[in-house]
């Protein structure tokens, strides 16, 4: 079957060389741009797993709505996770929320962040404008990642001067529930960047799979195998997903 003939996506093994590991960035501080459906979910799981987060969107109103949504989602998580200890559940919610700051000015908050995850409107021009601007303000070591579902990562990375520190990080909806994360490497993405994003995804409790150039989910969607926004898709399937010619 086509799914098993060529391994376009493969499970990310933990057998990275020690020398490569030594150079990896340990992501502690994350800036999430876009507080909509995906960005709010990404901010939530990053905060819930011990990262400090700044969530950025265009207006305070959107951010307030976004934070309210995160709180509601966290309360659901707490209800299950701390069913026997409601006080611990409340503490988990409060502690997680306290690590999410908000801002309407991305450029002013990226100077000390380890990772920028972009989850804004699916428009190449708008994404390029954003990253071009952030490239001037972000720290030298900062990794940029886009959550795009349909755009080529290379064409977004090309708006910056840090193509080696640029990759795709494709989460699935709903982010707090879906385990799969596609880490998309372009020809310019460094191994260090790739491995740092794999480690970050694992730190979120996700199952990262590697992709080269094109999202396997997009490819599969184009072939009619599935709809990337309504995936009934498991890591085991993705491990043997065949790639495009
Ligand atoms: N919805 C999904 O199921 C899904 C799944 C995987 C990936 N994605 C991708 O994630 C990205 C976001 O999708 P979404 O569904 O969360 O969209 P959304 O419309 O819910 O949220 C986008 C947010 O970005 C904000 N925004 C727009 N331009 C901005 C800018 N310049 N600066 C700061 N904030 C800005 C908007 O105000 C909005 O709150 C898209 O690239 C999409 O392709 C979506």
What ligand 1 atom has the least distance to the C-alpha of 130? 31
The secondary structure of the chain in percent helix, strand, coil, rounded to multiples of 5, reads 45, 15, 40
Domain count, the chain: 1
Helices 37-48 and 86-98 cross at an angle (nearest 10°) of 110
pLDDT in tens, 2-61: 333 233 334 444 444 445 455 799 999 999 999 999 999 999 999 999 999 999 999 999
The pLDDT of 145-163, averaged and rounded, is 96
Query: Does some domain include residue 152?
Result: yes
**Ligand 1 and 122: CB distance under 6 A:** yes
Question: Which residue range is the domain that position 131 belongs to?
Answer: 25-225+235-242
**Portion of the chain with pLDDT greater than 70, in percent:** 78
Q: What is the pTM of this model?
A: 0.86
CA of 4 to the centre of ligand 1 (A): 33
Cβ contact 45:99 at 8 Å = no
| Residue 203, CB-side half-sphere exposure with 13 Å CA sphere | 20
CA of 76 to the centre of ligand 1 (A): 23
| Mean model confidence pLDDT for the chain | 84
Cβ contact 106:56 at 8 Å = yes
Query: Does some domain include residue 9?
Result: no
**Ligand 1 and 148: CB distance under 6 A:** yes
The CATH number of the domain holding residue 172 is: 3.40.50.720
Query: Does some domain include residue 183?
Result: yes
**Ligand 1 and 208: CB distance under 6 A:** no
The mean-pLDDT minimum among 11-15, 97-101, 200-204, 226-230 falls in 11-15
Copy the structure tokens of residue 27: 């992501």
């Amino acid at each position: 079957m086509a799914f098993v003939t060529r391994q376009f996506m493969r499970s990310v093994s933990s057998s990275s060389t020690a020398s490569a590991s030594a150079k990896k960035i340990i992501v502690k501080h994350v800036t999430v741009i876009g507080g909509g459906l995906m960005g709010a979910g990404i901010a939530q799981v990053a905060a819930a797993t011990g990262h400090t987060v700044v969530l950025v969107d265009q207006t305070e109103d959107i951010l307030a709505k976004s934070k309210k949504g995160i709180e509601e989602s966290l309360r659901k998580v707490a209800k299950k996770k701390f069913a026997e200890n409601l006080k611990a559940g409340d503490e988990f919610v409060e502690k997680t929320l306290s690590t999410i700051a908000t801002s309407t000015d991305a450029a002013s908050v990226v100077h000390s962040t380890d990772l920028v995850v972009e989850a804004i409107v699916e428009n190449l021009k708008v994404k390029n404008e954003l990253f071009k601007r952030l490239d001037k303000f972000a720290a030298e070591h900062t990794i940029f990642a886009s959550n795009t579902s349909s755009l080529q990562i290379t064409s977004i990375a090309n708006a910056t001067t840090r193509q080696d520190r640029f990759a795709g990080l494709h989460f699935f909806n709903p982010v707090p529930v879906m385990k799969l994360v596609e880490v998309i490497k372009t020809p310019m993405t460094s191994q260090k960047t790739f491995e740092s994003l794999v480690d970050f995804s694992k730190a979120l409790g996700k199952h990262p799979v590697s992709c080269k150039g094109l999202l396997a989910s997009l490819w599969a969607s184009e072939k009619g195998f599935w709809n990337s926004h309504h995936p009934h898709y498991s890591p085991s399937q993705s491990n043997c997903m065949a790639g495009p010619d």
